[in-house]
Amino acid sequence: MRRIRFTLSYDGTDFYGWQVQPGLPTIQGTVEAVLSEIEGAPVHVTASGRTDAGVHALAQVAAATISNPIPLPNLRKAMNRLLPASIRVLDAMEAPPDFHPRRHALAKTYEYRIYRAEVCPPFERHYVHHHPYPLDVERMIALAPLLEGTRDYRNFAASDEKYASGDPLVRTIFSSRLIAEPDRLRYQVRGSGFLKHMVRNIVGVLIEVGKGNLDEAGLRALLDDKDAKAGPTAPARGLFLISVEYGNGC
C-alpha cells in the first residue's frame, strides 16, 4: 500500500465545503470519487482542515492510501482529467505510511480578501467580501496584531458539538496583519490551527473595529473575557487557505 500526499487547489463556490455530506457536492466527496475510480475500490481522503462551504484553497494538503502502482506524474494527470476544472491537483508525492495532513501540520496560513471600491467587478464577486462603506483602515491595521499569541480562542469559534465540553480551545496565532491595497484589504493570519469560523469571525471583529463599533479595550475583552462573543461572521467567499506547513519528516 502507498500513502500519497496531494496538494489541491480549488474554487469552493459550487461546493458545500470540504467534508462529505450525503447528496451534496463537496471537495472531499469529489476527490474520493475520482481516486476510487482510479483505484477500483473505495478510497478515503483526509485533509489538513475542513474548509467551509464557499471557502477556497490555493494549497490544501490531503492524503490517501492506495495500492495502484501508477507513477505519481500519471496519477496527477489522471486525477486532473477526471476532476472538475474547479479542483486541481498541483502535485502528488509519496508520504510516510502514518502521514496525517491535519495532525502533522505545524502551521497554516489563511488570507481574507475585502473589496472596497463602490462597484465590485462581476468576475471577483465569488472571491471577495464586497464592503464599499467607510472603515478606519489605520485602526484595523494597528489592532490586528493584538490577535497574536497562545490563548483560548473560544470566543471566536462557531457553535459546534465538539466544543460543547467547555474545555479550553487553545490555539497559537503566530502572525496577524492587515494589508491595505488600492480598492482592497487583505487580512493574513498564520497559526498552529484554527477553530470553526475562527478566521471569518476575526475578520468580522476587525470590520467592527473599522466601523468604530469596537475599540482596543473591546477587542482585548473579546480575547480575555470567557463570557464575551465575537460579532458578525464575515462571508465565506472572501477566505482562502494559502498554505500548510510541515516538518522535514513529512
Query: Which residue is listed with cell 491595497?
Result: 181
- Residues noted as catalytic: 52
Q: Inter-axis angle of helices 72-82 and 27-39, to 10 degrees? A: 120
Q: Inter-axis angle of helices 216-224 and 198-211, to 10 degrees? A: 160
- Convert 3-33 to b/e letters by CB count within 10 Å (16 or more is b): bbbbbbbbbbeebbbbebeeeeebbbbbbbe
Identify how many contiguous H helices and E strands the chain contains and give both numbers.
Answer: 5, 10
Which segments of the chain are extended strands (E)? 2-10, 45-47, 56-66, 87-95, 107-115, 129-130, 149-152, 170-181, 184-191, 239-245
Reduced to 3 states (helix: H, G, I; strand: E, B; else coil), residue 227 is coil
* 86: DSSP letter: T
The residue type of 64 is A
Work out the angle at residue 236's Cα, subtended by the Cα atoms of residues 231 and 162, and round it to the nearest 5 degrees.
Answer: 70
Residue 101: alpha-carbon gap to chain centroid? 14
